[in-house]
């Protein structure tokens, strides 16, 4: 799949109609979840039938396009299916039970409170590629909206559009055109570089590579933290508990949300540029298979880990790797900074010790040695951590390689 995103420009009543459509999607999703909770043995077909029943009972649900209602039902069933799969996992017996005997600690479906999108399938919209406008034709009366973006709409065929999604963000409304298009078919062919690289993620440096290069972390959140805290205090002073919120509170909330959105986009763009540069200059990239969700449980390091954006960098490395046909390998990070690269001896050291000193005489920077060990594990018969979960582009997050890959590079 390939996604094109444009900003929507319309009038105030059109934005209100989009908000109403999003609220309807949230209503349908939560009603389907409640129906599943109240009735034992309910399957996917039963939930779809219940969606049809909701359209007959509520006029505002009927006004929404039928495919958008189906998509809201799909969201519910996806959450339920994920819960069932978690229950079958080996960790399921360890999850705590609530009063009803349900294991809510392993991804139990939750009611949606912050739905921000509505998605249409093949009907409910009409695209005018000549004037760069899109018209939504369901009963919510959204109407015709102008598309703001640099991508040419004649870049693809209209039949390739599988779904159209409207997304609400702090700085406006956006439309995403989801195309049935393989990114590998549209990417230019890259010449082999005959180079490979290992990356060791960290907080002192965003990463240190096996070529003795380091990249400083941008620390976008740290730089904007003072301003964001000030905006949050302004929002808190205007909040009135148990009462309808004033327009001043809504304005303060939007300013605070825009500040956080800016930081998020800065981090995303930085990771994207960095990942593309790595992919273009190397045939193979090995990196640590870090469980960031577990690492951020450390209260002292959580803010710095989130600000570093390790997961985003890995996501874009894997995406560009699939797009340009490069090998990307996720390696188990265990003992990569403790094991001597020269002789293989384990030398345990705390995080404060930044230099590796071995009895064999090998002395190296801790991060540089870890990146060398990561590349060594990826290229000498080690398959890394092969994740069973598929990523958004249909390929596994870790790619298996042979034992002789880049052997000449390591011997230098």
Instruction: Indicate the pairing of strand 355-357 with strand 363-365.
Output: antiparallel
Is pLDDT of 140 > 60? yes
Place of tokens 């909770």: 37
Q: Alpha-carbon distance 123 to 331, whole Å?
A: 44
For residue 4, the surrounding DSSP H or E stretch is: strand 2-9
**Are the C-beta atoms of 209 and 199 separated by less than 8 Å?**
yes
Report the candidate in 326, 330, 318, 311 with the shortest Cα–Cα distance to residue 394.
318
Give the dihedral sign, CA 10/16/19/20.
negative
Q: How confident is the model at residue 132 (pLDDT cuts 50, 70, 90)?
A: very high
User: With 90 as the cut, is the pLDDT of residue 311 above it?
Assistant: yes
In 3-state terms, what secondary structure has residue 389?
coil
Q: Decide: helix, strand or coil at residue 338.
A: coil
Q: Across the beta sheet with 196-201, what order do the strands follow?
A: 214-215, 207-209, 196-201, 284-288, 327-331
Phi, psi of 174 (to 5 degrees): -130, 150
Per-residue pLDDT, 395: 43
Q: For residue range 234-256, list pLDDT tens digits in order.
A: 999 999 888 889 999 999 999 99
Separation CA 353–CA 369 (nearest Å): 13
Q: Are 199 and 374 in contact (CB under 8 A)?
A: yes
Q: Please give the DSSP secondary-structure letter assigned to residue 396.
A: B
Element at 144 (helix H, strand E):
strand 143-148
Reply yes or no on whether the pLDDT at 405 is more than 70.
Answer: no
């Amino acid at each position: 799949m390939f996604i094109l995103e444009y900003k929507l420009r319309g009038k105030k009543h059109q934005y209100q109609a989009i908000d109403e459509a999003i609220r309807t999607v949230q209503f349908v999703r939560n009603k389907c979840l409640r129906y599943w909770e109240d009735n034992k043995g309910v399957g996917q077909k039963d939930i779809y039938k219940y969606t049809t029943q909701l359209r007959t009972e509520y006029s505002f649900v009927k006004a929404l396009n039928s495919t958008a209602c189906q998509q809201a039902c799909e969201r519910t069933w996806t959450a339920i299916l994920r819960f069932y799969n978690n229950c079958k996992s080996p960790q399921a017996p360890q999850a705590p039970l609530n009063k009803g005997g349900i294991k809510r600690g392993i991804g139990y479906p939750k009611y949606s409170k912050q739905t921000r999108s509505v998605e249409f399938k093949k009907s409910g919209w009409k695209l005018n590629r000549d004037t760069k406008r899109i018209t939504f034709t369901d009963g919510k009366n959204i109407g015709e909206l102008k598309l703001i973006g640099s991508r040419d709409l004649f870049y693809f065929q209209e039949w390739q559009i599988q779904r159209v999604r409207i997304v609400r963000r702090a700085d406006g409304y956006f439309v995403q055109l989801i195309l049935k298009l393989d990114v590998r078919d549209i990417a230019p062919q890259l010449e082999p570089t005959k180079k490979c690289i290992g990356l060791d993620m960290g907080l002192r440096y965003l990463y240190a590579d096996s070529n003795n290069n380091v990249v400083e972390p941008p620390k976008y959140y740290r730089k904007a933290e003072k301003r964001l805290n000030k905006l949050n205090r302004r929002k808190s002073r205007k909040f009135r508990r148990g009462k309808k919120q004033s327009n001043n509170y809504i304005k303060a909330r939007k300013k605070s949300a825009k500040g956080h959105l800016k930081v998020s986009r800065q981090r995303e763009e930085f990771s994207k540029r960095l990942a593309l540069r790595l992919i273009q200059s190397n045939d193979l990239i090995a990196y640590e298979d870090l469980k960031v969700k577990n690492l951020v449980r450390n209260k002292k390091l959580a803010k710095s880990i989130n600000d570093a954006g390790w997961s985003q960098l890995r996501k874009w490395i894997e995406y560009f790797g699939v797009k340009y046909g490069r090998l990307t390998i996720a390696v188990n990070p265990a003992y990569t900074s403790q094991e001597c690269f020269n002789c293989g001896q384990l030398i345990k050291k705390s995080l404060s010790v930044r230099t590796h000193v071995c009895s064999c005489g090998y002395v190296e920077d801790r991060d540089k040695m870890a990146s060398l060990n990561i590349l060594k594990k990826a290229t000498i018969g080690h398959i890394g951590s092969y994740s069973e979960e598929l990523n958004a582009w249909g390929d596994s997050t870790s790619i298996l390689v042979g034992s002789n890959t880049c052997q000449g590079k390591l011997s230098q």
